[in-house]
Amino acid sequence: MKLEAIDVRQTASATDLVFEALRKAIIEGELAEGEHLRQDHIAQMFNTSRIPVREALQRLEQDGLVTTQRYRGTVVAALSAVEIEEIFEFRALLESEVIRLAVPALTRKQLDAARTNLEAFAAASDPGGWGEANRKFHYGLYEAADRPYHLQIIRSSLDRVDRYLRAQLTLTDGKKRAHREHLSILDACERGDADEAASLTRAHILDAGRSLLAILEKRRGQSV
């Protein structure tokens, strides 16, 4: 017997589907911060009852992507400049350490894949494509560190700020600079220089954070 067997036990529940869809929409900035998420409305969109929607919202809140007030509903979480700054600082610490652990373990195959992703980033024309290629580039390298817990936290912290990051890439020459920085990070990885890769990654993240904060300050300053 030869079949493409799939593990039925891990098929997605309605809750999973709603959760992933909302998560994606928030990360990609399709849902504006502060936007109200009505259970009924979402349930109708997905052709389910409110139960899976509520369970998905619980999960999103645990991840910090939405905030809920009892009887008043759930809104897409908004981050202050200070909070964003802290998360970038956190990412710089964590991701630099993980790439330091990854470099000695990187295979030829992983390095080649990273170059492909790096080029995809440069070639991508819309923020969605940039974001995806950016994640693939970094995570592809990080995987060599063989630290699933670290990776999970990294993913979660990027989730929180990804929509702002995309805005930054759109509004400035941030994309070009990011590409240059990617090149030098990959170069350090190729040379097996873990400390240099770590230090470049740290600077890469802090750079993006600073640039983003400058934009936010300007925008929020205007809107007052």
Q: Which is nearer to DNA, 13 or 80 (CB)?
A: 13
Is the Cβ of residue 95 or residue 140 nearer to a copy of itself in the bound state? 95
Ranges within 7-36 binding DNA (CB under 7 A):
8-9, 13-15, 36
Closest separation in Å from C-beta 65 to a copy of itself: 11
Q: What is the DSSP letter of 43?
A: H
Q: Which does 37 bind (CB under 5 to 8 A by kind): DNA, a copy of itself, none?
A: DNA
Least Å distance, CB 200 to DNA, is: 44
172 binds DNA (CB under 7 A): no
CA distances for 188 relative to 98, 104, 144, 154, 198, angstroms: 14, 11, 15, 21, 9
Q: Binding to DNA (CB under 7 A): which residues in 66-95? A: 68, 70-74
Residue listed under structure tokens 């919202």: 57
Is residue 62 part of the contact set for DNA (CB under 7 A)? no
Q: Contact between 209 and DNA (CB under 7 A)? A: no
Long-range contacts of 119-124 (CB under 8 A, 24+ apart): 121/178, 121/179, 121/182, 122/179
Q: Copy the structure tokens of residue 161.
A: 């700020």
Count of residues engaged in binding DNA, rule: CB under 7 A: 24
Q: Which residues bind a copy of itself (CB under 8 A)?
A: 9-11, 13, 15, 51, 54-55, 58-59, 61-63, 69-72, 83, 86-87, 89-90, 93-94, 97, 147-150, 153, 157
Hey, which residues does 36 pair with through a beta bridge?
Answer: 75
**Residue 184 contacts which entry, DNA, a copy of itself, none (Cβ below 5-8 A, type-dependent):** none
> What radius of gyration do the chain's Cα atoms show?
19
Distance CA 224, CA 209 (A): 22
The two structure tokens encoding residue 93: 């610490």
CA distance 17 to 161: 22
Footprint of DNA (CB under 7 A): 8-9, 13-15, 36-40, 47-52, 54-55, 68, 70-74
